[in-house]
Amino acid sequence: MGMKTHELENLEELESVAASDPLAAAVRKMIVEIGEDPEREGVLKTPARVAKSMRFLTSGYRQDIDKVLNGALYSVAYDEMVMVRDIEVFSLCEHHLLPFFGRCHVAYVPNGKVIGLSKVPRIVDVFARRLQVQERLTVQIAETIMEKIKPQGVGVIVEARHLCMIMRGVEKQNSLAVTSHMLGVFRDCEGTRSEFLRLLKERL
């Protein structure tokens, strides 16, 4: 049986989208290269969907930290540790374009200014929504907070599972990668660093 008229129109529309969107066209070519039929019903819309998904998952390239912060810095006479724990992280491994996901913990000791608490996860997302390696992601979060808030110090720990390890390669499904970056008093003062680690272990 031949394709129905509306199916033909839909196919022409999808081909038009692929032709006008280089990313969707690249996905369609990939589908062909792995041996699949790009015109099969189940994957007809896949190129457009993947292109939309990839633009969202890499939206950090198109975000400006200053606009994300939007002036949410406040003068406060407070010099004890501020911590935002268990921030969900979803990113893409730059080596295989497979997801890695987990939690990020951020702490800093203010030096006259604090940042709106909701801005910390936003900073994490700016760098997570790029092609990444976990080590660089951890450093970028810490150094950005250090630069923008100028606190006495910053500590960042990221715990993540990588599908490039779980689904391929060594296939170790319970592997957890942990990275940290300490600046200022978190690097120089053992007491501050120990307090950060202790608070992470406690479940309030």
Instruction: Classify residue 86 as left (phi > 0), alpha (psi -120 to 50) or beta.
Output: left
d(CA 183, CA 142): 7
For residues 32 and 80, membership in a common domain is answered with no
CB-neighbour burial class of residue 127 (10 A; exposed 0-12, middle 13-18, buried 19+)? buried
Do both 93 and 179 map to the same domain?
A: yes
CB distance 63 to 126 below 8 Å = yes
Statement to judge: residues 99 and 30 lie in one domain: no
* Whether residues 105 and 133 fall in one domain: yes
Task: State the alpha helices, DSSP H only, in the chain.
Answer: 5-20, 22-33, 46-57, 65-69, 119-128, 134-149, 163-166, 185-188, 190-201
How many folded domains does the chain comprise? 2
Q: From the CB of residue 71, how many other CB atoms can be counted at a distance below 10 Å? A: 8
Residue 71 and residue 50 in one domain: no
* Domain range for 192: 66-201
Amino acid making up residue 167: M
Tokens of 23: 């990313």
Tens of pLDDT along the chain (204 residues) come to 444 555 555 656 655 655 689 999 999 999 999 999 999 999 999 999 999 999 999 999 999 999 999 989 999 999 999 999 999 999 999 999 999 999 999 999 999 999 999 999 999 999 999 999 999 999 999 999 999 999 999 999 999 999 988 887 666 677 899 999 999 999 999 999 999 999 998 864
CATH number of the structural domain spanning residue 178: 3.30.1130.10
Q: Do 34 and 73 share a domain, yes or no?
A: no
pLDDT at position 1 = 43
pLDDT at 85: 96
Residues 125 and 160 reside in one and the same domain: yes
**Same domain membership, residue 45 and residue 93:** no
Judge if 87 and 25 occupy the same domain.
no
**Pair (50, 88) in one structural domain:** no
pLDDT value at position 203? 62
Q: Are residues 182 and 88 in the same domain?
A: yes
pLDDT at 51 (0 to 100):
96
Residues 154 and 192 grouped into a single domain: yes
Q: How far apart are CA 160 and CA 180, in angstroms?
A: 12
